[in-house]
Structure 1
């Protein structure tokens, strides 16, 4: 699965710059993990997970895992969503899509433009989850579904599980999407985006987790991580400069 360029324009990869950017994002990744662990621990420790939204979301997620591991996997459905996301992001970037191919063995689109967001969008955006929520909102606008809120969250959990499981399985494959921008850079962005989605779903399904509290926790961990690594980097550079100066001094004498 991937993107085929339908023009003669070369892809400017700038691998070293992307790898450098990915390296600077590692503390942010650690901050997201720490925030998710902290909020999840608080939720489980105080029994705040015992609400309709959380239980429904978790049930949907577990149902999908059972389907994924025990039944034939609907890979063609994943490929369809994967290539649709490529195409949608290409259109949003003003590109033209010349062909769209989907099968149970893989798929691809042909376009005249590519980029980081176009290439990595299927691994970052849970398309079926967004479509499920949009469909729910449209139907609820005309026919009240307030009595079936559990179904909304169960569907979110199931479709998020679909996205999460297939994304993990694709990350170990030799995907052209990753080769285009580098595996390290791609994996860091994908992990960071999906951790953010996990935080969003935790806040959406748990009334005890406020958006403000989540933002403060994330900001605190970001400050701690970047302060720690900043001090480590400055200390390391200081030692390197000191050794260089002393070596030059000894050479000059």
Structure 2
């Protein structure tokens, strides 16, 4: 990840060295080498319709649930919104906790390295940025901090782990408020950092990276909506997704290839 000040990104440096070695080996054997960024750019183009359809479906279901099914009157909606509002005020009105974000960012990299079976040999965090040294890297590891809200996930894990032993139902309002704070923390810092030219995004192509980030965030938002609203289920959302996908396909087919 790139920062306004200098930052060493060992995760990125190692992946570049591996890619360079592979490319030179292919050139010796006279094979045609297609840059992975070109491939990922094409993959990003194919992801674009999925992102569009998912976005349309999410906002359609959210609007229908909020307005017609009175989701906006529920405790989940109001306390999540209250937490989001409080964090927005803090983000724009108080000194930003950059160190806390950097720690979460690098911790997310490390968690996804471990999930992929890799090893983290060094973990560095500072106000000027952070880095990890690892033997494993791919686009999911690089982009995870932008779609994996680490503090929200940790909050849910702690709540779920304590629930069998402690009656946490009286604290459900606090849970939704903290989820609002942590999710808005993730969203605000993600939107703040992306325009600064993040090396995590450039490494795999900015367009492809943005499509992946947007799609995964939409999936997580959909999951939160389904958990918080009893009126929405995966089957109902899947029907909405299929309906919008069919409409999008029909619209694509209706575009004339050649002018008449």
Taking structure 1 as the reference length, what is the TM-score of the superposition? Answer: 0.86
User: Is 1:174 aligned with 2:183?
Assistant: no
Of 65-74 and 217-226, more deviation after overlay is shown by 217-226
User: Is 1:36 aligned with 2:58?
Assistant: yes
User: Is 1:188 aligned with 2:211?
Assistant: yes
1:231, 1:118 → 2: CA distance?
39
Structure 1 residue 156: Cα displacement: 1.3
Q: 2:82 aligns with which of 42, 59, 67?
A: 59
Instruction: Let me know the Cα RMSD of the aligned residues.
Output: 2.1
The alignment partner of 2:193 has SS state of helix
User: Is 1:163 aligned with 2:172?
Assistant: no
1:170, 1:223 → 2: CA distance?
35
Structure 1 residue 120: Cα displacement: 0.5
Higher Cα Rg, which structure: 1
Count of paired positions: 237
2:103, 2:253 → 1: CA distance?
43
The alignment partner of 1:208 has SS state of coil
Deviation per CA, 1:33-66: give whole Å up to 9, x if none: 2112212221332233101111111111111111
1:230, 1:122 → 2: CA distance?
37
Structure 1 residue aligned with 2:29? none
2:152, 2:71 → 1: CA distance?
24
The alignment partner of 1:110 has SS state of strand
1:95, 1:230 → 2: CA distance?
44
Q: 1:5 to 1:160 in 2, by over 3 A?
A: same
Structure 1 residue 177: Cα displacement: 0.6
Q: Which runs of 5+ in 2 are unaligned?
A: 2-8, 23-34
Contact 2:12–2:203 (CA under 8 A) maintained in structure 1: no
2:87, 2:205 → 1: CA distance?
30
Structure 2 residue aligned with 1:119? 142
The alignment partner of 2:72 has SS state of coil
2:237, 2:86 → 1: CA distance?
27
Structure 1 residue 231: Cα displacement: 5.0
Q: 1:137 aligns with which of 150, 155, 160?
A: 160
5 Å-filtered alignment, 1:66-81, equals 66-81=89-104
Deviation per CA, 1:200-236: give whole Å up to 9, x if none: 222222222232211211121122223433554xx42
